[in-house]
Amino acid sequence: MSDGEGLVIVYTGNGKGKTTAALGLSLRAIGYEHKVCMLQFIKGSWHYGEMDSSKKLGPNFELIAVGKGFVGILDDNSPREEHEKYAAEALKICREKIFSEKYDVVILDEVNYAINLGLLDVKEIIKLIKEKPEKLDLVLTGNHAKEEIIELADLVTEMKEIKHPFKSGIKAKKGIDF
Ligand code: ATP
Ligand code: MG
């Protein structure tokens, strides 16, 4: 178990490193045999390296993809209701994991995007933050974190883009970006 009160940690901002920071924190926690669950609100059909990391890191790291490729929500073919249905299911899984008492750290990766798209109600997330088990460290990522969430958080870091290779035409790199 982690020592002391659990923290609410937010990684936001337009620079790269939000999910990477959450993964780095996981690696550190797993070193102490802490149990980590990362719930990834999926933004598309991409495959990310961390999806396979749990097989290598052992049972202390669990990664679950939730939601439904919402990045294309505005122009994809599935009706909005379908996205909403998946988001509601995702929230249910988040609740289950958070209140299971099985984990020391729970990460809601890209949750801020799902909120900003209106797929998740910020009030539901606020409720989760307020009711979470005391010792649990809860991490939320995604740009444009809502003010209400920032207010409740203990730690907020804004990644700020200074340079990103994408702007020089360099494509996303395996092992770095995905
Ligand atoms: P990462 O997963 O690499 O830590 P992130 O979580 O900070 O990135 P997201 O908003 O989740 O950023 O976007 C994920 C993808 O977009 C990654 O492939 C990442 O490299 C890329 N990305 C992040 N920030 C930028 C940026 N400022 N310009 C272009 N691409 C970006
Ligand atoms: Mg991310």
pLDDT in tens, the chain (178 residues): 567 899 999 999 999 999 999 999 999 999 999 999 999 998 878 899 999 998 899 899 999 999 888 776 655 677 888 888 999 999 999 999 999 999 999 999 999 999 999 999 999 999 999 999 999 999 999 999 999 999 999 999 999 999 999 999 999 999 999 9
Domain boundaries, the chain: 8-168
Q: What residues are in contact with ligand 1 under a 6 Å CB criterion?
A: 14-20, 110, 141, 143, 159, 161, 164, 166, 172, 177-178
* Distant-in-sequence, close-in-space partners of 123: CB < 8 Å, separation ≥ 6: none
What are the two backbone dihedrals, phi and then psi, of residue 171, each rounded to the nearest 5 degrees?
-75, 160
Q: Number of H helices and number of E strands within the chain?
A: 6, 6
E runs forming strands in the chain: 8-12, 36-41, 61-66, 105-109, 137-141, 155-158
Residue 73 CA to ligand 2 center (angstroms) comes to 17
Write down the pLDDT at residue 58: 87
**Is this structure's pTM higher than 0.85?**
yes
Residue 81 CA to ligand 1 center (angstroms) comes to 27
Residue 166 CA to ligand 1 center (angstroms) comes to 10
Task: Give me the count of residues in the chain.
Answer: 178
How is domain 8-168 classified at the CATH fold level? Rossmann fold (3.40.50)
E runs forming strands in 35-104: 36-41, 61-66
* 16, 108, 178: residue to mutate for ligand 1 pocket, most atoms within 8 A of CB: 16
Write down the pLDDT at residue 75: 57
Write down the pLDDT at residue 45: 81
